[in-house]
Amino acid sequence: MTLTDIAAPSVFETVESEVRSYCRAWPVVFERAAGSRLYDEDGRPYLDFFAGAGSLNYGHNNPVLKRALLDYLADDGITHGLDMSTTAKRAFLETFRATVLEPRALPYKVMFPGPTGTNAVEAALKLARKVTGRQTVVSFTNAFHGMSLGSLAVTGNAAKRAGAGVPLHHAARMPFDDYLDGQVTDFLWFERLLDDSGSGLDHPAAVIVETVQGEGGINVARAEWLRGLAELCRRHDMLLIADDIQMGCGRTGDFFSFEEAGITPDIVTLSKSISGYGLPMSLCLFRPELDLWEPGEHNGTFRGNNPAFVTATAALDAYWRDGALRERTLNRAARVERALLDLCGDDAATGVAVRGRGLVWGLEFADGERAEAVCRRAFETGLLLETSGPRGEVVKLLPPLTATDDELDEGLGVLARSVRHTAGRRAA
């Protein structure tokens, strides 16, 4: 930074709101991106192990998707479509049915609830309440479901919740898998509350769950726990909502992260990587018998983001016609796990816990300062990493699924050096 810079703060500092966040951790101006790398305006490359918080599973500006998008735009395809029928939407629906729904025998209806994850969660909550006539939705400790008022009520983070400025209601909290001491029977508390008419828990409309809590600190639910939850929902007549916004679209290997557990949620939310190109898009899927919406009962201006439909269709075509991506991701999962365990050894010694599945992994440090120091050091060495968890104590790895083996090794190498570099130091 030169004297001139000091004299003239950037437009980000003078005009953009103080609410901005990631740009503080990565104080450069990005200009270009391709595959697994971003480039700042000075041309410096950054290996991206953040992938738009899971929105870029197929990498930046994936050439297959890019081609489809440029063609569509060049031909004056519809860009803004509200919920009109368009050829782009039809192609998406047909491809989604052919590549995602039919192969998995999922009967879901597809709703376009608005282009962001929180739109999808709001729609899912509305529908669950409408269908059941009940109001309480159960969510889990350290859940993250979005920042609009309905989604925030089922989110755990205290600082985000405080931002609401009003009390958040109609939600009840349960312990996520392995939240307590490792001794307590799964769902002991939850089922006791449901069985006991004096418990004070109003019968819930639904349970909303992430199979892996990304923002919450890469907390991985066991398949067995997810099956127990699905069974509990069935037994107690509660709808099960899987929020697969961050973990869907192949992040854990399967297209849906809940496939491994062999469960079929009643409602599923998808967003982030569904468009495949970083364009805003989200879906709310549900069993057809739940489709009790009145026309227009939930609406929104940008539900029909047709350019996103185009890239989404191209991504499904390119990656989900067969099982290759899934297999590759699962292979890489093993490779990453090995590397991280090599790095951290057993926690007892290093105090670092390793958790993950597919291509989402976390290293839990003793405190947020250390995790932040690791990310800062990684950034200085050209690797983008972010923290998560309630105290920011978890370094989160979300590389593009399309990263090459070399890129993966490169990133894991930088990470290892950053961990070692920061050992025994306090964050500056």
Give the residue with the Cβ less far from a copy of itself, 211 or 388: 388
Q: Is 416 in the site for a copy of itself (CB under 8 A)?
A: no
- Long-range pairs for 61-64 at CB < 8 Å and ≥24 separation? 61/33, 61/34, 61/35, 61/277, 62/35, 62/276, 62/277, 62/315, 62/402, 64/314, 64/315, 64/318
Give the residue with the Cβ less far from a copy of itself, 295 or 424: 295
Minimal distance, residue 324 CB to a copy of itself, in Å: 24
Minimal distance, residue 41 CB to a copy of itself, in Å: 6
Give the residue with the Cβ less far from a copy of itself, 101 or 223: 101
What would the two tokens of residue 254 be?
Answer: 């399967």
| Binds a copy of itself (CB under 8 A): choice among 103, 104, 106, 110 | 110
Closest CA relative to residue 385, chosen from 367, 402, 410, 404: 410
Minimal distance, residue 255 CB to a copy of itself, in Å: 16
Residues 234 to 293 in contact with a copy of itself, rule: CB under 8 A = 245, 271-272, 277-280, 284, 286, 291-293
Q: Is 44 in the site for a copy of itself (CB under 8 A)?
A: no
Minimal distance, residue 350 CB to a copy of itself, in Å: 23
Give the residue with the Cβ less far from a copy of itself, 250 or 307: 307
HSE-up of 207 (CA within 13 Å, CB side)? Answer: 27
Q: Is 55 in the site for a copy of itself (CB under 8 A)?
A: yes
What whole-number distance in Å separates Cα of residue 91 and Cα of residue 276?
15
Q: Is 28 in the site for a copy of itself (CB under 8 A)?
A: yes
Give the residue with the Cβ less far from a copy of itself, 163 or 262: 163
Minimal distance, residue 76 CB to a copy of itself, in Å: 5
Residues 166 to 205 in contact with a copy of itself, rule: CB under 8 A = 166-173, 175, 179-181, 183-185, 188-189, 192-193, 196-203, 205
Q: How far is CA 343 from the centre of its chain?
A: 25
Calculate the CA dihedral of residues 33, 35, 38, 44 and round it to 10 degrees: -100
Sign of the dihedral through C-alpha 329, 52, 220, 109: negative
Residues 132 to 171 in contact with a copy of itself, rule: CB under 8 A = 135, 139, 141-143, 146-151, 153-171
What would the two tokens of residue 67 be?
Answer: 């081609």
Strand (E) positions, 274-393? 283-286, 353-357, 360-364, 383-384, 386-388
| 334 φ/ψ angles, rounded to the nearest 5 degrees | -65, -40
Calculate the CA dihedral of residues 38, 247, 160, 230 and round it to 10 degrees: 180
Q: Is 403 in the site for a copy of itself (CB under 8 A)?
A: no
Give the residue with the Cβ less far from a copy of itself, 284 or 360: 284
| Binds a copy of itself (CB under 8 A): choice among 47, 49, 99, 117 | 117
Q: Candidates 34-42, 344-352, 374-382, 409-417: pick the segment binding a copy of itself (CB under 8 A).
A: 34-42
Q: Is 381 in the site for a copy of itself (CB under 8 A)?
A: no
What whole-number distance in Å separates Cα of residue 31 and Cα of residue 246?
25
Minimal distance, residue 264 CB to a copy of itself, in Å: 17
Q: Is 327 in the site for a copy of itself (CB under 8 A)?
A: no
With CB under 8 A as the rule, give the number of residues binding a copy of itself: 151
HSE-up of 375 (CA within 13 Å, CB side)? Answer: 28
